Amino acid sequence: MTPFGASGRPTLRRVPLNAAAALFCLLWIFPVYWMVNTAFKPYGDILSPAPQFLPFPLSFANFADAIGKPGFLTDLRNSLVVTAAVVVLAVVVAFFAAVALTRLRFAGRRTFLIAVLVVQMVPLPALVIPVFLSLKSAHLLDNLLALVLTYAAIVLPFTIWTLRGFLHGIPVELEEAAMVDGAGRMTITRRILLPLVMPGVIATSVFAFITAWNDYLFANVLMKDQAHETLPVWLVSFSTATGTDYGGLIAASTLSALPVIVFFMLIQRRLVAGMTAGAVKD
Amino acid sequence: MATTTESHTAPPAPTGAAARPPRRARRPRRHGHALPYLLLLPATAVLALVLGYPLVRLVIISFQDYGLRALFTGVITWAGLANYQAVWQDPQLLPVLARTGAFCAALVAGTLVIGLLVALMMARLGPRMRTAVTLCLITSWAMPPVAATLVWQWLFQPVYGVVNWLLTQTGLFGDLTQHDWTTSALSAFAIVWLLVVWQSVPFVALTLYAGLSQIPRSYYEAAAIDGAGAWTVFRVITLPFLRPILVLVTILSVIWDFNIFTQIWILTQGGPGGGTTTLGIWSFTKAFSGNSFGQGAAIAVVSVLLLLVLTLYYVRRLVRSGEDL
């Protein structure tokens, strides 16, 4: 038995394997299926002793219930503002750094790259205490800017390394040719580097998006005021405040998960490649 | 959160004046000295401000008497080693350390074993089934931790939770519909374990599968000709090829699983009776519930050092890989 279907035809030997794969799929997708199923159920079907496995008749009442709850729209807006700011800030800052790291040679280049790698190994839960105290003495608690800066720093190492990898792949001859034709630095960056590095910009943007959108730890500690909460904090407080309103809670969870799942599908190849390249010498 | 160790073997880009036509060489060279640092300045500033400075501050706070009084008056007194002494003498210390270690080990082992099995399975599947498995993996990977944790709460909810209902239907365990999983530390850990493994297996499985697909097929053909059994093939060909990737995903899993916070915090808050309090939860509750930021910081410093020891090999590799950057 060899991997990658070397035997060629789907013989009887494949049957137990396919059965195992089907079972695995069933098991692994079940929580997400149950989330969507619960979110679309009519309210009475959620709290029934024997669970209903199909959400028919489809009902959007749970979504309406979640959106109508106090704070949802404010916190959704906060999440969107913070996430958008993090994406723009992280990608722009990382792009500058990546250009310097791939196109210019200077003292301290290697030190910077290693420092970036080491710094991202710092366990984030350990940083909550000093970040909280520093922001408190700077009177920056309940300031969305604090969250933006925190998330930007968390995603920067990955963003810098990924963009650096993409820039590395672009032959310098292209820029040289443009330079011979009399193009300036800005023109070269805008007309040549940026379009070529676009896949990398998209991948890192999505990564920044997911990190900022998902965080609970820092948002929970740094945003004490309800008006500045983000969606994950709202979800958790919803869960403890209402106790049994699982319909609304799960519908809101579905709404918060949807954009992430969509974006994740877009970059998963890049994520896997980015995390393992270098493990095997190529 | 994600860790990259990309290294490109492409020759380093020719840079500076050498790459430019001689006519323009003089001008860029002059500001060429400041330009790279100018470009790195924003990134350095953000990293130093949000990761570097707090790390230093963490160590300083761990030597200070930083409680409610300090929080409100701003008057901070030095405490010497008092915070570390208090942590050292705390009867909670040993159970917390044991719990953190055991839970992390259980998570890493579970993630790696299941991930490896899934990767091996994927390598033997037909294209259609493999796509189905990949889609399921990506979906669970993509679930935001908070949403996933809340779904978990609902799945394992007493009375209306579907898992209790399903377990009851099997008839093996009696009537479990009223069972509350968070009332005992062991079963609470069990559901957190299931949740974290569910979310971590995709990365491990997809990464190992990517590694498997790079093994030249001729090796397997040769082994087949020699009449090697499946176990021998796995031990002699697959495992040695996968070793570097296995080491990488193991270390990344150790780092991530050691730092699990959100899932435990939302599901149990460290309870019942402190039974699911890991180092991270302990530090957090000491600081934010007990208002003893000094002791919380001391615990955090200890956990950073512990993690550093656990991952020393990886850090050394990173530093060494910097030699051919």
Residue A253 within a domain: no
Apex B208 CA angle, B206 and B211, nearest 5? 110
Question: In whole angstroms, what is the distance from residue A202 CA to residue A87 CA?
Answer: 10
Residue A57 within a domain: yes
Task: Read off the pLDDT of each residue in B74-97 and give the average, rounded to a whole number.
Answer: 90
Closest alpha carbon to A30 in B156, B177, B179, B180:
B156
Closest alpha carbon to A129 in B207, B61, B263, B140:
B61
Asked if B58 lies within 8 A of A130 by C-beta distance, the reply is yes
Report pLDDT for A278: 41
Residue A22 within a domain: yes
Residue B42 within a domain: no
Tokens representing residue A9 in the block = 């035809």
Other C-beta atoms closer than 10 Å to the C-beta of A26 total 11
pLDDT digits 0-9 by tens, B233-258: 999 999 999 988 898 889 889 988 99
Residue B169 within a domain: yes
Residue A252 within a domain: no
Asked whether residue A117 falls in the same domain as residue A228, the answer is yes
Asked whether residue A26 falls in the same domain as residue A139, the answer is no
First to last CA, chain B: 22
Give percent of chain B above pLDDT 90. Answer: 50
In whole numbers, what is the pLDDT of chain B averaged over residues?
85
Asked whether residue A184 falls in the same domain as residue A209, the answer is yes
Asked whether residue A128 falls in the same domain as residue A175, the answer is yes
Report pLDDT for A18: 93
Tokens representing residue B268 in the block = 């149990």
Report pLDDT for A244: 65
- Per-residue pLDDT band for B122 (boundaries 50, 70, 90) equals very high
Residue B172 within a domain: yes
Asked whether residue A88 falls in the same domain as residue A201, the answer is yes
Only one residue has tokens 């990949």, namely B134
Asked if B325 lies within 8 A of A109 by C-beta distance, the reply is yes
Residue B148 within a domain: yes
Residue A1 within a domain: no
Asked whether residue A48 falls in the same domain as residue A153, the answer is no
Residue among B140, B151, B212 minimizing CB distance to A34: B151
pTM of this prediction?
0.86
Task: Decide: helix, strand or coil at residue B65.
Answer: strand
Chain B 41-100, residues with CB within 8 Å of chain A CB atoms = 42-44, 46-47, 49-55, 57-58, 61, 66, 71, 74
CATH number for the domain including B302?
1.10.3720.10
Sign of the Cα pseudo-torsion (B155, B157, B158, B160, in order): negative
Report pLDDT for A131: 93
The C-alpha of B105 sits at a distance from chain A's nearest C-alpha, in angstroms, of 17
B94 phi-psi bin (left φ>0, alpha ψ -120 to 50, beta other):
alpha
Report pLDDT for A272: 59
Report pLDDT for B30: 43
B13 neighbors B325 (Cβ within 8 angstroms): no
Report pLDDT for A56: 79
Residue B290 within a domain: yes
Total domains in chain A come to 2
Task: Read off the pLDDT of each residue in B122-134 and give the average, rounded to a whole number.
Answer: 91
Report pLDDT for B252: 85
Asked whether residue A225 falls in the same domain as residue A154, the answer is yes
> Structural domain of residue B209, as residue ranges?
93-324
Asked whether residue A107 falls in the same domain as residue A218, the answer is yes
Residue A58 within a domain: yes
Report pLDDT for B11: 34
- Residues in chain A with CB shorter than 8 Å from the CB of B325 are 109-110, 113-114
Beta bridge partners of B65: B77
DSSP B258: H
Report pLDDT for B2: 39
Asked if B206 lies within 8 A of A268 by C-beta distance, the reply is yes
Asked whether residue A112 falls in the same domain as residue A142, the answer is yes
A249 touches B at CB < 8 Å: yes
CATH number for the domain including A75?
1.10.3720.10
Q: Give the total residue count for chain A.
A: 282
What are the mean pLDDT values of chain A's consecutive 10-residue runs (282 residues total)? Answer: 50 84 96 93 79 83 88 92 96 93 86 83 88 89 92 92 85 86 85 84 88 93 88 86 77 91 76 50 34
Q: For B62-183, where are the alpha helices, taking DSSP H only?
A: 68-73, 82-89, 93-124, 127-142, 145-155, 162-170
Q: How does DSSP assign B225-242, residue by residue?
A: HTT--HHHHIIIIIHHHH
Asked whether residue A85 falls in the same domain as residue A188, the answer is yes
- Tell me the CB-side half-sphere exposure of residue A108, using CA atoms within 13 A: 11
The C-alpha of B145 sits at a distance from chain A's nearest C-alpha, in angstroms, of 7
Asked whether residue A134 falls in the same domain as residue A222, the answer is yes
> Structural domain of residue A144, as residue ranges?
70-237
Asked whether residue A172 falls in the same domain as residue A149, the answer is yes
B8 touches A at CB < 8 Å: yes
Closest alpha carbon to A214 in B150, B280, B310, B124:
B150
Residue B8 within a domain: no
B104 touches A at CB < 8 Å: no
Residue B231 within a domain: yes
- Residues in chain B with CB shorter than 8 Å from the CB of A129 are 58, 61, 283, 287, 293, 296-297, 300
Residue B171 within a domain: yes
Total domains in chain B come to 1
Report pLDDT for B28: 41
Domain final residue pick, A237, A255, A273? A237
Residue A40 within a domain: yes
